[in-house]
Structure 1
Amino acid sequence: MKSRGPWAPPPSDPPAKPKSLPATSKSRRSSNFKPPAQNRKVAGNVALAFMAVLAIAVGSLSGLMLVYSVNLPQIQDLERYRPDTTTELYDVHGRLFGSFALERRVVLDYDGFSPLLRQAVISIEDKNFESHWGVNVFRVMGAVYHDITSKGRAQGASTLTMQLARNLFLSNERTAGRKLQEIFLSLQIEHNFTKQQIFTLYANQIYLGRGTYGFEAGSQYYFSKHAKDLTLPEAALLAGLPKGPNEFSPVVNPDRAFRRRNTVINAMLEDGAITTAQADAARTAPLGLHIEAPPNSLAPWFVEEVRRELERRFGSDRVHEAGLKVETTLDLDLQETANRAVLDGLAAYERRHGWKGRLLNVIAGGIALNAFKHPDWNGPVQQGSYIHGLVTGILPYQVTAKVGNQQVVLTPENWAWTGFKTAPEFLHEGDIVYVHVTGQDGGNLTGVLEQDSGTQGSLLAMDNSTGDVLALVGGRDFDMSQFDRATQSERQTGSSFKPYVYTAAVEEGATPGEMILDAPTSFGSYTPHNYEGNFLGEITLEKAFADSRNIPALKLAQRVGIHKVIDTAHRFGVTSNIPPFLPVALGSVEITLMEHTAAYSVFPNDGIRIAPRLIRRVTSADGIPMTEPVPEVKEVISAKTARTMMVFLKSTIEPGGTGQAASELHHALGGKTGTTSDFTDAWFMGFSPSLTCGVWVGYDSRQSLGDKETGAHAALPIWMDFMKTAIAGKPDEQFPGDLKGSAPAFATHVASAAAGKVGPG
């Protein structure tokens, strides 16, 4: 028997009539069923609307991507990216002492940053840096939620990559459009660069406050060390700065900086990067700042001269942005000696003339004590500094003065030279005083009260055989006055001009042993006199020069003709316009210290003049040589004339000469004093066989230095103080005339040294 399906009727019965079904049931069972036209229309509209919405969403997203990516930089720009870097200045021994920069930055590779610093940055800024693809979705969603619920935009969600994209290419405006651009750029960066490359770019670019960019520059500024040498507390402090370089500045806000640093340490502990013991020790450590000296503070006037020369050659933008390496002629040891010698010499001058007072008082000027800040306070205070302070406390036998963030305490022995026994007799709260810092006692500085009445001094020293400027001081205080009195100021030279007169006479046949009459005389309506007010009668020219007698110098100038004297000075390198009047022979002409010093170097150089230079070599950031200046070398006078003049110039230093005090140095030396009318300018120009140094003292206002303040009294002590260091270690030096060998051989040596073929001196 065949089985039947459930719908099949029995074979003996007629087919059963099926029951009527609802239309819907029929539609499901009939393959030929078609929905009504109205339903088909609705479904089509729904589908069309869905497709339209989808198209609009895709189009909008594509449009946004187009709008916000059309102006994005090409990723190739980042591959070629070279950040603005610092142009650095090095002395003759390769020591860094100055720099120029719009953004103070030192670029390092990945290994230049200590592992502690790298971990500290990642722990506090981007914990998932090693795993994400440029954007941390969870942080973004959390930030969006925070922004919505708090109705603000304070919550950040930037990864290191996003921060890098923003810092390099975008603005800091808080808009959705800028954020989209930041995300697009971050994705590109992550696609094209490794994590190490991204971190390196970030670490060299980020701003850390106080004008520093990148962790190396920040490490050098805040701790005076390299980024690879940072300790855990130091690394944590720097890692906490990007969030708010000013808000968390350890200089401006040390308490906030301390708390921020410890937040970084806690984050490192949570990440397992450090142990509990390390964290505990680091959290209790002091900030440990060791702020570096302000850039260019050791030789500010020298640095300014170098900057001007570099800008003339390469342009300002390149000098301040291209990271040039400049090998200069400066010797830091001699520069520090020059700085000290000038300040000590001016302090000695001030004491000789007693306490003048006339101090500025900030309270009288309407300024609160806690609101006053002196330009001298821009850098750290070091022992030996001469610095202005603000009197904040007065007791009969104690004065407290503010010096930057420190205090200096003065006692009666520190102001004994003023003649006052108690402080209230001559000082008041709010006075701006001048202090020589001598040391530290507990938490306070110790010092000696000095005086700054406005006297200025300048010093320039150069290597005889190369023209290299080894030290340059352009004034008393660069923070107070940037005017360079060594290279920019033209002052009357007084008797220091006389060597040009005697040189012209020697070329006409004069000799040191020749006799000349030192007696009253007149030149037309001009009746000169000697400084001493007396006359010596018949004396040798050597005696006349050593004593700096005026009458013999004028007679020699008249004999050879004042035009020849002027021509001789110009041959020596003096560029001033000198009027053809006889008093020029006594130094009424104005000359810069640099020109005067370079001219004097002709004498120990056997008649060869080598133009002074400040730059030895310049290379690009990539180490490519850009320039190696060679100074101008020319013969000014014959070797015979030079050696004859050396007899005169050495006699000044010998007993009886105006510069005889220098004989106590027991070295081969020569030179000449210079004093102008009314004692407005004091000079000493002198040299050893290897080095020529010039010193000037005076007031910018050209007021008198005071009675008897001659070149021998005001300038020579500074020169001697400097030369003690300059000649140290050279006991056997001799002048060319005292050496075996011919003058041409010496001239060849000088020319070779100037060209860099042999060592200096």
Structure 2
Amino acid sequence: MTSLYDNLPPVEVGGRRLVGRVLFGLLVVIAAALGVGSGLLIVYSTDLPQVAELEKFRPSSITELYDDQGRIIGSFALQRRMIGKYEDFPKVLRDAVISTEDKDFENHFGINFWRVIGAAFRDVTSGSRAQGASTLTMQLSRNLFLSADRNFRRKVQEVMLSLQIERRFTKEQIFTMYCNQIYLGHGVYGFEAGSHFYFNKPAKDLTLEEAAVLAGLPKAPNSYSPINSPDKAIRRRNLVINNMLEDGKITADQALKAKEAPIKLSFQNDQNALAPWFVEDIRRYLEKKYGSDEVHEAGLRVYTTLNMDLQKTANQAVLDGLSAYERRHGWKGKLPNVVAAGDDLASYQHPDWDNAVEPGAYFHSLVTEVSPASARVKFGRTSATLLPEDMKWTGHKSPQEILSIGDIAYIKVGSIAGDKIKVSLEQDSGTQGSLLAVDNTTGDIKAMVGGRDYEESKFNRAVQAMRQTGSSFKPYVYAAAVDKLGVTPDDTILDAPVSFPSGGGMYTPHNYDGKFEGVITLRRAIADSRNIPALKLAERVGIRDVIDMAHRFGVTTQIQPYLPVALGAAEITLFEQVAAYATFPNDGVRVTPRYITKVTDYDGRVLEEDYPEVRDVISAQTARTMVEFLEQPVLHGTAYAASVAFKGHALGGKTGTTNDFTDAWFLGFSPSTTCGVWVGFDEKKSLGAKETGAKAALPIWIDYMKVALKDKTKEDFVGQPAPPANAVAKKAEPPATAPPPGDDAESH
């Protein structure tokens, strides 16, 4: 009997051995591969960051400064980032990002396996740098923990981290972290900051075309920047829109309309430009106390005393005041020229071109075209035409007479109607101005201007500049006389020629107008800023006591005990002057001006809370007598223009002018606010004949105080009746119809 298997061909022993060897070899290869893979995983994971740290991780974020109404007035950051929540990123943006960067984001477990294998194979076989295939999770892990180097090791670590992130966090959490971390060009990180930077709006308000622009940036932020490469940005945006259409996220009609729309950028203005000197002082303080890293990366919240509206008013008042001065002294020319300096017209940028183009703004503009009838100027992304009527004050009828292509011409923006911008030619001859305003009760700094243009000079003339005070020093003389001698405004004094002994012989002073009034009251003497009465009072009190009084008010300058100091030979900062003058309406209490009310960390924990720093300087009675004294220059004297402007409002103050008209001051106060203004050149240079404190500084003070006192019509000084609402001060001598007397200059 035969078996079924008897007819099968015999199997050779050698064949079985060959199969066995092949199988064994495959097992060895697989085992080796697993071993190598495991080894690589162990090697690559030895220095792998712990994903658990993400639960406590907070990206570097912006430290923001707020004004007294909670509005942002400045910020500090190494990376411009605004942290958003998942719900802050609208669906249109989420769809745009996912359709472009990671279509399977909602379904995968951190990696796109087949794309990663393909990219890795190409790397190994070609020896080239790692290919793409990154999911949103992989991009997040790379941005958070890994370097930007493209190599096989980093790609493996990226995969391992992504798997861990997916296990530990939800898709919403991962997407939110990605949106806050991704780089979008121009120093901007995260879609919330990107939305504010490119479109000046929060992310939740983005349109389809705007969301598509932002979603197209992560691949190559610089190449696809709508600022650097508008054409590339449009092509990239339209690709994103097509991706969304293919994924069914939008309709064909929506896609067509979005692709036809131009990219309309609306850049966020530099927040620090509103009060740059104030913001810089705060930065220095914070860095000294908390350290640079904390200030620029930890997202502190700094609540300041500044008021945004009053600061805008102060900025405009100073610039307009300097413009009025420049026009009084005529066109000087000598404009810097870009071509002469060897620079390129097409690439020239001035720092102030980042500021907002709005009515009243001043810019250093570039002259690009000139003809007998007009000149074309450029400032930032804006251009305008200067006509003869816009420069009439210069005395020249044709722009071609005073302007050349490449000149840097100083201009002021007038009206704006659509794309048509009216501008006028101005002049920047180097004059500077500073302003400081404080709340009398709290010392809160409400406005600070440290000069004409922060980008051209960061020196803070409101705080750092030591300038001779002129007659604005006289209130310290009168305060010492009231305090020590008990003088009153109705006491009399002889205004007549006099000489005082000094170390080098006799010192013979004079009054500003060169005249002498005979016997006059002290109220008349301070109203018209007579020099002789002030010197006689200083001699009676003792110049050392006068200097001691100035130091009690907070003046830190070491003042030599010479009699001419009574007329303002001492150099004092505007900051110290304003703090001192605020003591008078404060019933003798000096409140140190303050910048900050509170600082918190990112989570809202209070790091510091600042309270007014106060101390008694003079008695309440002396302060009230001094208020009565300092009302006189406003009611009847050198600051009479303030009475005309404010009709019955309780005001006090003092003008100041130095020899040769090098410094012009006005320090003035209401019951609630004290404001000081200084005008001059940085070098000791004359402003010109008759450029007194009343002429150069007082108009700036008036422009500011018109806004500061707008809602404070019924206030009056302590212990004094409020003036009638319709009262207007009358000048005693000369009559009110005559021009107010000029300010005096010290003589020493």
Q: TM-score, normalised by structure 2?
A: 0.92
Task: Work out which of the residue numbers 325, 342, 345 in structure 1 matches 2:321.
Answer: 345
- Contact residue 137 and residue 165 of structure 2 kept, 8 A: yes
Aligned to 1:658: 638
Aligned to 1:412: 388
Aligned to 1:504: 480
Give the drift of 1:730: 1.3
**For 1:101-128, what per-residue CA distance to the aligned partner results, in whole angstroms no more than 9, with x for missing partners?**
1111111111111111111100111101
Alignment of 1:215-234 (within 5 A): 215-234=191-210
Q: Which has the larger radius of gyration?
A: 1
- Contact residue 291 and residue 380 of structure 1 kept, 8 A: no
The DSSP-based 3-state class of the residue aligned with 1:401 is strand
2:702 is aligned with 1:720: yes
Give the drift of 1:548: 0.7
Greater mean alpha carbon deviation, residues 71-80 or residues 440-449? 440-449
Q: Go from structure 1 to structure 2 and tell me whether the alpha carbon gap of 1:693 and 1:130 turns closer, same or farther (over 3 Å shift).
A: same
The DSSP-based 3-state class of the residue aligned with 1:127 is coil
Matched residues in 2 for 1:340 and 1:379: separation? 14
Task: Work out which of the residue numbers 258, 261, 267 in structure 2 matches 1:282.
Answer: 258
Give the drift of 1:463: 0.3
- Contact residue 493 and residue 681 of structure 1 kept, 8 A: yes
**For 1:51-82, what per-residue CA distance to the aligned partner results, in whole angstroms no more than 9, with x for missing partners?**
54343222211111111111110111112111
Aligned to 1:751: none
Aligned to 1:79: 55
Partner AA of 1:635 in structure 2: D
Greater mean alpha carbon deviation, residues 88-97 or residues 50-59? 50-59
Q: Go from structure 1 to structure 2 and tell me whether the alpha carbon gap of 1:63 and 1:510 turns closer, same or farther (over 3 Å shift).
A: same
Matched residues in 1 for 2:348 and 2:63: separation? 33
Greater mean alpha carbon deviation, residues 438-447 or residues 426-435? 438-447
Alignment of 1:137-286 (within 5 A): 137-143=113-119, 153=129, 155-286=131-262
- Contact residue 679 and residue 708 of structure 1 kept, 8 A: yes
Matched residues in 1 for 2:2 and 2:113: separation? 60
**For 1:124-166, what per-residue CA distance to the aligned partner results, in whole angstroms no more than 9, with x for missing partners?**
1110100111111233345457768998548421110010011
Matched residues in 2 for 1:547 and 1:401: separation? 46
Task: Work out which of the residue numbers 488, 496, 499 in structure 2 matches 1:519.
Answer: 496
Alignment of 1:469-488 (within 5 A): 469-488=445-464
- Contact residue 409 and residue 444 of structure 1 kept, 8 A: no
Matched residues in 2 for 1:692 and 1:204: separation? 44
- Contact residue 130 and residue 151 of structure 2 kept, 8 A: no
Aligned to 2:729: none
**For 1:712-735, what per-residue CA distance to the aligned partner results, in whole angstroms no more than 9, with x for missing partners?**
000000000001111102111111
Aligned to 1:381: 357
2:645 is aligned with 1:669: no
Alignment of 1:536-615 (within 5 A): 536-615=517-596
Q: Go from structure 1 to structure 2 and tell me whether the alpha carbon gap of 1:260 and 1:173 turns closer, same or farther (over 3 Å shift).
A: same
**For 1:375-418, what per-residue CA distance to the aligned partner results, in whole angstroms no more than 9, with x for missing partners?**
11134422221000111101111010111122111101100000
Matched residues in 2 for 1:555 and 1:726: separation? 37
Give the drift of 1:699: 0.5
Task: Work out which of the residue numbers 296, 303, 311 in structure 1 matches 2:279.
Answer: 303
Residue identity over aligned pairs, in percent, reads 60
Matched residues in 2 for 1:649 and 1:384: separation? 33
**For 1:159-190, what per-residue CA distance to the aligned partner results, in whole angstroms no more than 9, with x for missing partners?**
10010011011111111111111111111111
Aligned to 1:422: 398
Unaligned ranges ≥5, structure 2: 723-748
Partner AA of 1:543 in structure 2: R
Aligned to 2:109: 133
Matched residues in 2 for 1:739 and 1:152: separation? 87
**For 1:240-285, what per-residue CA distance to the aligned partner results, in whole angstroms no more than 9, with x for missing partners?**
1111111111112112111111111111111000111111111111
Q: Go from structure 1 to structure 2 and tell me whether the alpha carbon gap of 1:564 and 1:288 turns closer, same or farther (over 3 Å shift).
A: same
Q: TM-score, normalised by structure 1?
A: 0.90
The DSSP-based 3-state class of the residue aligned with 2:78 is coil
Task: Work out which of the residue numbers 591, 598, 609 in structure 2 matches 1:617.
Answer: 598
Give the drift of 1:339: 0.5
Matched residues in 2 for 1:365 and 1:257: separation? 34
- Contact residue 123 and residue 152 of structure 2 kept, 8 A: no
Matched residues in 2 for 1:331 and 1:40: separation? 93
2:596 is aligned with 1:635: no
Matched residues in 2 for 1:149 and 1:441: separation? 63
2:314 is aligned with 1:334: no
Matched residues in 2 for 1:699 and 1:513: separation? 38
Aligned to 1:646: 627
Give the drift of 1:628: 1.0
Give the drift of 1:318: 1.1
Greater mean alpha carbon deviation, residues 41-50 or residues 439-448? 41-50
The DSSP-based 3-state class of the residue aligned with 1:358 is coil
Task: Work out which of the residue numbers 434, 442, 449 in structure 2 matches 1:458.
Answer: 434
Aligned to 1:692: 674
- Contact residue 661 and residue 692 of structure 2 kept, 8 A: yes
Q: Go from structure 1 to structure 2 and tell me whether the alpha carbon gap of 1:689 and 1:149 turns closer, same or farther (over 3 Å shift).
A: same
- Contact residue 207 and residue 214 of structure 1 kept, 8 A: yes
Give the drift of 1:642: 0.6
Give the drift of 1:42: 8.4
Alignment of 1:47-62 (within 5 A): 52-62=28-38
Greater mean alpha carbon deviation, residues 713-722 or residues 144-153? 144-153
Give the drift of 1:605: 0.6
Q: Go from structure 1 to structure 2 and tell me whether the alpha carbon gap of 1:6 and 1:417 turns closer, same or farther (over 3 Å shift).
A: closer
Partner AA of 1:213 in structure 2: Y
2:344 is aligned with 1:364: no
The DSSP-based 3-state class of the residue aligned with 1:569 is helix
Matched residues in 2 for 1:475 and 1:293: separation? 20
The DSSP-based 3-state class of the residue aligned with 2:110 is coil
Partner AA of 2:629 in structure 1: F
**For 1:459-483, what per-residue CA distance to the aligned partner results, in whole angstroms no more than 9, with x for missing partners?**
0000011110000111111111111
The DSSP-based 3-state class of the residue aligned with 1:475 is coil
Alignment of 1:398-409 (within 5 A): 398-409=374-385
Matched residues in 2 for 1:104 and 1:193: separation? 26
Matched residues in 2 for 1:587 and 1:380: separation? 40
Alignment of 1:725-740 (within 5 A): 725-738=707-720
Matched residues in 1 for 2:236 and 2:606: separation? 44
Matched residues in 2 for 1:485 and 1:92: separation? 23
**For 1:481-528, what per-residue CA distance to the aligned partner results, in whole angstroms no more than 9, with x for missing partners?**
111111111111110010001000001211111111111111122221
The DSSP-based 3-state class of the residue aligned with 1:370 is coil
- Contact residue 72 and residue 271 of structure 2 kept, 8 A: no
Q: Go from structure 1 to structure 2 and tell me whether the alpha carbon gap of 1:154 and 1:705 turns closer, same or farther (over 3 Å shift).
A: farther
- Contact residue 130 and residue 152 of structure 2 kept, 8 A: no
The DSSP-based 3-state class of the residue aligned with 1:470 is strand
